[in-house]
Structure 1
Amino acid sequence: MTDTLISDHSEVTFHFTIKLEDGSVADTSRTQDKPARLKMGDGSLTAGFEACLKGLSIGSNKSFTLAPEDAFGMSNPDQIHHMEAARFSPEIELEPGVIVGFEQPNGGQVAGMIREVQGDSVTVDFNHPLAGQTLNFDVEILDVSNPG
């Protein structure tokens, strides 16, 4: 049996752990033992991340570091908004670090993290929580299939 290598259009099942530069774990698929699934090239992950997976096969383990622009991008100041506290439901705890869901005009939801509360002003950051950070990834490839 030959190993199936990850290529441009592979479907990949893998476990991942994302660590910050200080070594603390930011996210992992291992906590709930729910591996991630990815179709290479579908745009769900960055080209930099996908490039690190190419050539791996089932059973491969790899660690790599991605700069912010190759991971979740740089923090965009246009994604940080100041809102009146009165716009929030009274059940929401207006504290830094709290993630709040906002309804978009199209009916979809977008998440924002409260960064600061000063009086009646609430600063909400709609950037990805890991934007602007250099991240260390550990991956274990569980399955690879290449559409025929």
Structure 2
Amino acid sequence: MNVEANKVVSFHYSVSDGGDVPVDSSRERGEPLTVLIGHGNIIPGLEKALHGHAVGDRFAVSVAPGEAYGERRADFFQRVPKKYFEDAEHLQPGMSTVLQTKEGGPRMVVVQKVGSSVIDVDLNHPLAGKTLAFDIEITDIRDATAEEISHRHAHGAGGHEHH
């Protein structure tokens, strides 16, 4: 069985942004990442690179910013009242944190400046503008269930879980 749309794929990965040290790795957590292919659950360049591979395949892929987290936008900053941050008292310039957006979803932001009542944040994803180098090992491929396809994401081994 090969990776294609509507397959649930589990894979270990490590990713770096041009440096020697990975910025993220599933191996450190001990569990592979499991995603439903064809529904936009991972960055487009990585999803395209997975297509056609089989269980046991190990490969490296480089993903350009346009197929990852986009180019950095110089004007993508916002001043946000501290009350919107769960951990405002601990934030320092350069730290990444998650901010709930008006659309209801979480957004990774980087703190630029901390004031007495507001925090200036960079809304660019921390990996925006970077070419990402992935090391991939596919550990499992299965057909997605009808429920997973209708929900547009993979469910855990115990069934349906939304967080």
Whether the TM-score (by the shorter chain) exceeds 0.5 is yes
CA shift for structure 1 position 107: 5.6
2:138 to 127, 135, 141: 141
- Pair 1:20-2:12 in alignment: no
Count of aligned residue pairs for this structure pair: 145
What CA distance in whole angstroms lies between the structure 2 residues aligned with 1:101 and 1:47? 22
Please provide the CA RMSD for this pair: 2.9
Who is 2:5 aligned against? 8
1:40 maps to a residue whose letter is I
Who is 1:92 aligned against? 89
What CA distance in whole angstroms lies between the structure 2 residues aligned with 1:127 and 1:55? 32
What CA distance in whole angstroms lies between the structure 2 residues aligned with 1:32 and 1:89? 24
What CA distance in whole angstroms lies between the structure 1 residues aligned with 2:73 and 2:134? 23
3-state secondary structure, aligned to 2:48: helix
CA shift for structure 1 position 142: 0.3
CA shift for structure 1 position 39: 0.7
Who is 1:45 aligned against? 42
1:12 maps to a residue whose letter is V
Greater Rg by CA: 1
Contact 2:4 2:38 (C-alpha < 8 Å) held by counterparts: no
Distance 1:107 1:85, change over 3 A: closer
Who is 1:32 aligned against? 29
Task: Flag the structure with higher helix content.
Answer: 2
Contact 2:94 2:111 (C-alpha < 8 Å) held by counterparts: yes
Percent identical residues: 28
The CA deviation string for residues 50-90 of structure 1, in whole angstroms up to 9 with x for no partner, is 11111110110010111111111112345321346797679
Which structure 1 residue ranges, 5 or more long, are not aligned?
none
3-state secondary structure, aligned to 1:132: coil
What CA distance in whole angstroms lies between the structure 1 residues aligned with 2:84 and 2:91? 11
Which structure 2 residue ranges, 5 or more long, are not aligned?
146-163
Larger displacement relative to structure 2 (113-122 or 62-71) = 113-122
2:128 maps to a residue whose letter is A
Who is 2:123 aligned against? 126
1:43 maps to a residue whose letter is G
Larger displacement relative to structure 2 (100-109 or 11-20) = 100-109
Larger displacement relative to structure 2 (77-86 or 94-103) = 77-86
Who is 1:80 aligned against? 77
3-state secondary structure, aligned to 1:92: helix
What CA distance in whole angstroms lies between the structure 2 residues aligned with 1:130 and 1:56? 26
